[in-house]
A and B are shown apart, each in its own frame.
Chain A
């Protein structure tokens, strides 16, 4: 089969003769991929920032597909079902899954206890090959994979595997109250979706910060919000203080993570010398520009071992810091409803539809923010479904 193959930082190719994955466990299913996406999280792998990313791995944790085969213990899914597969691999019965923390399962990742099991996310995510391929092994097939509702566009469905729930949970963790001013750092797919979802919780004002003009233009329209370029400010924290009557925002959302730009100190220590796990610039700004007693919600991904953040402000201002991997399965019913009712329009963020064979270029364009790219979609050669 065709599959993406990681060769080292910034190097990706397509294998044509990769063996099709097999059932390894009674709860497995084998899924033939119909659509998959490249995520900002994949860029952390692509840039070599994530420990235990092994050469030869296939990335990809956002995909839909047709069930081709099921293990002896699978009961809910059957061959031929067209499913969207949440990025979390979750057993459904451990204490964390039972409390709906599906992104923090205890039985899907031997390599790191701090991290749940994720498709195609290095060995720090459990060592699973991912969905940027023609076929994927999907463990615990009865738990998370969800049949795509009749009438739902496949491009909406594939975005429900990660971006929509992550953006939504970013807003949800912000504990937004009606009228709140919400600042979102990052106008990538996740930040765009977080800004859009902030309104569902009754935000009164939504401000997005990034430094890429085409993305700022995009988010302004798509998420009905204000958007500003931090390169045009001396100090983004001062800018936000001024914008919020010198109080600070009620809620700040970090939708950037460890690949942030904007601070020479963070970039040198985090991305050049690797003395910290990437650059924590956005989180630093978020903590400093939220109001006293405010909430900072983090969905941007950070790696081990640690990052430099202003702990003093966090403590002195009494800030609540909330963070997690999205719990996709928990949020799916509500989000399917929002999509079907037209309140959310996920596919509106897809800008590039690329054959799987051209994945190296797709990574490059997405990573370098070229050709006005927001979200690239990969289409495998045999992507038909009934």
Chain B
């Protein structure tokens, strides 16, 4: 079958949805339209660099001052890396275990999520040790909650109180 070529402008006029063509009042309408863009814009400008896997120009190596994990899907660390929050404590040990598995495994990611939860408990402990009592209300943005969702916040607090009271009375009645 022969392909009938329809000019883009024609499409607009034949489509009943487009009675109000956006063309006229939208700044820059169609300015980046590219008829060659089929199926889509090339996401990469292919230039053969894919085959320079060993000999591409590498930046100098950033010195390693503490333990930096690397994915086992690559031979070592990258030339540059972040220096935020080195692994520490129990969560650090859990993380180091997670990095024994590839990015294709749940063992890797689920273990890291577990480490994150442990880390936040360790964070509270180390806060307390250093004499800071974390202001959970402030940290959770409850000043904003008070301002914009007072009813919701009151609900939350009341529910919390009710649940605690019920729990306490259940526990103490059991003891009797």
Contacts and interface: CB of A to CB of B under 8 A. Distances in A.
The answer to whether A and B assemble together is yes
Interface of A: 7-13, 21, 24-27, 48, 51-58, 73, 89, 91, 93-96, 98-101, 106-114, 117, 123, 125-129, 137, 139-140, 172-179, 181, 199-206, 224, 274, 277, 295, 303-305, 320, 322, 324, 334, 338, 341-344, 360-365, 368, 370-371
Nearest to A373: B148
Interface string B118-143: 01111110000000001110111111
Given A55-B85, A139-B62, 6 more contacts: A7-B134, A93-B57, A178-B33, A205-B17, A320-B39, A360-B139
A107 to B, nearest CB: 5
A176 B8 CA distance: 12
Nearest to A176: B33
Contacts of B124: 7-8
Interface residues of B, number: 95
Contacts of A55: 85, 91, 116, 119-120, 122-123
B148 A204 contact: no
B4 interface: no
A110 B68 contact: yes
Contacts of A334: 32
B3 interface: no
B74 A224 contact: no
Contacts of A181: 17
B12 A106 contact: no
Interface stretch (B103-111, B156-164, B167-175): B103-111
B85 A57 contact: yes
Nearest 10 pairs between A and B by C-beta?
A364-B141, A8-B120, A127-B82, A175-B40, A178-B8, A128-B82, A343-B28, A202-B33, A51-B112, A179-B11
Given A126-B81, A204-B18, A370-B148, A110 B32 contact: no
B165 interface: no
A320 B143 CA distance: 46
Contacts of B25: 224
B97 interface: no
B62 A179 contact: no
27 contacts: A7-B124, A11-B136, A25-B60, A27-B59, A51-B110, A58-B84, A91-B59, A91-B80, A94-B56, A95-B51, A99-B46, A108-B78, A109-B78, A110-B81, A127-B81, A127-B84, A139-B62, A199-B29, A206-B22, A277-B109, A295-B39, A295-B40, A305-B108, A361-B144, A362-B141, A364-B142, A370-B144
